[in-house]
Structure 1
Amino acid sequence: MNIYGVVGWKNAGKTGLMERLVSEMTARGLSVSTIKHAHHSFDVDHAGKDSYRHRAAGAREVLLASRNRFALMHELSDEDEPTLAELLSKLAPVDLVLVEGYKRDAHPKIEAHRSETGNPLIADDSVRAFAADCALEVDRPVFDLNATGEIADFILADLGLRHG
């Protein structure tokens, strides 16, 4: 499976870029899945709902399904957080998996950057290009943060995928 990451510090524009890239890539006929790393506890269901009650009662996994979608919730309890590779193995095959976060993993990435945050660049060896709202003095390509088509072209070329 082809994987490409979008990384950057908080408020760098990662989620907006991910959303635009998913729309762009699917419009080009590619099947796309995403993985988003959260640095905090999160919940996809809510107190009082049946699935929440099942988990609260001690179920290790709860699969919630309808005719439109399903969601599998797995309680980690005392287990380690799954690695990106472990999570990728749970996805159905697609043309491209876009990953938001996991900046320390070695897969190819584009780094989102907004000057107003004042954050330094991550710019490690896995960052292949930058999407920024300002000029950057770096040794890799820099795209306007909103140049979604150009960024998609770069990612697809970097992965050797068709441009649709």
Structure 2
Amino acid sequence: MLRVVGIAGYKEAGKTKVVEGLVKELVDRGYSVGTVKHVPKGGFTLDRPGTDTWRHAQAGSEMVVCLSPEELAILERRKADMDEVLLKMLDLDFAVLEGFRESEGLAKIMVARSDGEAVDLADEFTVGFIGHGTGDRPVLKRGDFSALADLVEKRAIPPVGGLDCGACDYSSCRDFALAAIIGDAPKDGCSAITGGVKLIIDGERVPLNPFVQNLIASTLAGMLSALEGGKGKKIDLEVTRSEG
């Protein structure tokens, strides 16, 4: 079950060092971890002008793949939202986001260099601070990555579906996320994400409320029941729709 946490703060506050330490601590505890870095600067690219892959992109290639004996790098020249990115990480235990300080629906730990910064950064999804803090939320010392990982294990939750379907008994996904972060709701309580039916269209996960999941599951099971081998528990179906 993927759980997500954000490490946020102002520029040059030391967020990357915090992410490095947190990732190492989580990996040492046996977790699989992915990271996402927010780069607000327009025109940014990991590629370097003049390289062969850069020339491929300049020629118009929408996807450039660089394959070496030790690494696979895929560069796509398009926009993507966080839901799509997290979809690629569903098999991991944790996703650590650097930046994204205005994001909602996930536990965030703010890196603050002063009490004033902590006050400016704090929001409802802030579960703790590093360096300086405000209110009754924990303030961790810089470099205490063990305590940081403890906090992440306790507070980080999976992504929520964004449907406001009410199946979790909360009026909105936002309210559910806030409750799950503080432990008043189960972390896996968003059935739109954790349910048994997963719909992915053109690489993007489409959250489904429980009624739609049950409808799809029962309809598909009924259609396949007459086929030899069609009564298995897990069904993977890929559909390619023709034009027109």
Q: 1:137 to 1:125 in 2, by over 3 A?
A: closer
Counterpart pick for 2:147 among 150, 157, 161: 150
* Structure 2 partner of 1:5: 6
* 1:97 is the counterpart of 2:121: no
Q: 1:29 to 1:143 in 2, by over 3 A?
A: same
Please give the residue correspondences for 1:131-142 in structure 2 after superposition, counting only pairs within 5 Å: 131-132=130-131, 134=132, 136-142=133-139
* Structure 1 partner of 2:111: 112
> Are the counterparts in 1 of residues 62 and 76 from structure 2 also a CA contact under 8 Å?
yes
Superposed CA deviations along residues 26-78 of structure 1, whole A, max 9, x for unmatched, are: 111111000000011322222221111100000011111112111111112xx
Question: Please, which runs of 5 or more residues in structure 2 have no aligned partner?
Answer: 158-244
> Are the counterparts in 2 of residues 113 and 121 from structure 1 also a CA contact under 8 Å?
no
- Residue 137 (structure 1) shift: 3.5
Which AA in structure 1 matches 2:123?
D
For the residue of structure 1 that corresponds to 2:23, the secondary structure is helix
* Structure 2 partner of 1:69: 71
Which AA in structure 2 matches 1:30?
Y
- Cα distance in 1 between the residues matched to 2:134 and 2:85: 35
* Percentage of matched positions with identical amino acids: 32
Which AA in structure 1 matches 2:109?
I
Which AA in structure 2 matches 1:4?
V
TM-score between the two structures when normalised by the length of structure 1: 0.85
- Residue 141 (structure 1) shift: 1.1
Which AA in structure 2 matches 1:141?
P
- Cα distance in 1 between the residues matched to 2:135 and 2:113: 15
Which AA in structure 1 matches 2:54?
Y
Number of aligned residue pairs: give it: 153
For the residue of structure 1 that corresponds to 2:88, the secondary structure is coil
- Cα distance in 1 between the residues matched to 2:111 and 2:99: 11
Higher relative contact order (CA 8 A, sep 6+): 1
> Are the counterparts in 1 of residues 89 and 95 from structure 2 also a CA contact under 8 Å?
no
- Residue 91 (structure 1) shift: 3.1
- Residue 92 (structure 1) shift: 5.7
**Aligned-residue CA RMSD (Å):** 1.9
TM-score between the two structures when normalised by the length of structure 2: 0.59
Question: Please, which runs of 5 or more residues in structure 1 have no aligned partner?
Answer: none
Please give the residue correspondences for 1:16-95 in structure 2 after superposition, counting only pairs within 5 Å: 16-40=17-41, 41-76=43-78, 81-91=79-89, 93-95=91-93
Moved over 6 A (4+): none
For the residue of structure 2 that corresponds to 1:63, the secondary structure is strand
